[in-house]
Amino acid sequence: MYDVLVIGAGVSGAAIARRLSRYKLDIAIVEKANDVSMGASKANSAIVHGGYAEPHDELRGRICYPGRSQFEELENELHFGFVANGSLVLAFEEEEIPTLEKLYDMGVENGLDDLEIIDQKKLREIEPNVSDKAIAALWCKGAGVCSPYEYVIALVENAVANGSELFLNSRVCEIKKDGDHFLVKTEDGKELEAKYVVNASGLEGAIVSEMIAKTDFDIHPRSGEYLIFQKGTGKKLNNVLFQVPTEKSKGILATRTFHNNLLLGPDAIDEEEIDLSTHEDRLMYIYEEAQKSVKDDVINLREFIRSFTGLRPASSTHDFIIEESNVARFINVVGIQSPGLTSSPEIAKIVEGILKKSGLELVDDPNYNPNREPIIEYKELEDMNKIKDKLDLPLGDPDRIVCRCEQVSEATIRDAMNRGIPVETLDAVKRRTRAGMGFCQGQFCKPRVLEVMEDELGKKALDDMYDSERNGLSRLNKKRINELIKEMQDTSRKEIEEKEED
Q: Which amino acid is at 29?
A: I
d(CA 3, CA 131): 54
Query: Which residues on neighbouring strands pair with residue 90, listed in sequence order?
Result: 137, 243
The catalytically annotated residue of 49, 181, 220, 279 is 49
Closest CA to 9 of 167, 162, 148: 167
According to CATH, the topology of domain 387-457 is: Arc Repressor Mutant, subunit A (1.10.10)
| Domain locations in the chain as residue ranges | 2-41+149-218+317-358, 82-143+221-315, 387-457
CA gap 291, 252 in Å, rounded = 10
Domain formed by 2-41+149-218+317-358, architecture: 3-Layer(bba) Sandwich (3.50)
Residues near 237 by Cβ (< 8 Å), separated by ≥ 6?
127, 129, 254, 255, 256, 262, 294, 298
Enclosing H/E stretch for 314? strand 304-315
- Is 81 in contact with 252 (CB distance < 8 Å)? no
Cβ neighbours around 418 below 10 Å, total: 9
Residue 162 in 3-state DSSP? coil
19 strand-pairing partners: none
User: In this structure, what DSSP letter does residue 225 have?
Assistant: E
pLDDT at 8: 98
Give the type of residue at 421. Answer: I
Q: Is 56 a catalytic residue?
A: no
CA-to-CA distance for 311 and 314, rounded, in angstroms? 9
Provide the residue type at 451 as one letter.
E
Sheet-wide strand order for 82-83 = 47-48, 144-146, 82-83
Residue 485 is predicted with a pLDDT of 83
Strand-pair category, 2-7 with 191-199: parallel
Class of domain 82-143+221-315 (CATH, top level): alpha beta
Cα angle value 490/492/497 (rounded, 5°): 95
- How much of the chain is helix, strand and coil, in % rounded to 5? 35, 25, 40
pTM for the model: 0.96
What's the N-to-C CA distance of the chain in angstroms? 81
- Cα-based angle 399, 402, 403 (whole degrees, multiple of 5): 125
Q: Between β-strands 269-270 and 115-119, what pairing exists: parallel, antiparallel or unpaired?
A: unpaired
| CA–CA distance, 60 with 219 (Å, rounded to integer) | 16
Tens of pLDDT, residue by residue, the chain (502 residues): 999 999 999 999 999 999 999 999 999 999 999 999 999 999 999 999 999 999 999 999 999 999 999 999 999 999 999 999 999 999 999 999 999 999 999 999 999 999 999 999 999 999 999 999 999 999 999 999 999 999 999 999 999 999 999 999 999 999 999 999 999 999 999 999 999 999 999 999 999 999 999 999 999 999 999 999 999 999 999 999 999 886 656 679 999 999 999 999 999 999 878 889 999 999 999 999 999 999 999 999 999 999 999 999 999 999 999 999 999 999 999 999 999 999 999 999 999 999 999 999 999 999 999 999 999 999 999 998 999 999 999 999 999 999 999 999 999 999 999 999 999 999 999 999 999 999 999 999 999 999 999 999 999 888 899 999 999 999 988 888 888 888 887 777 777 677 777 6
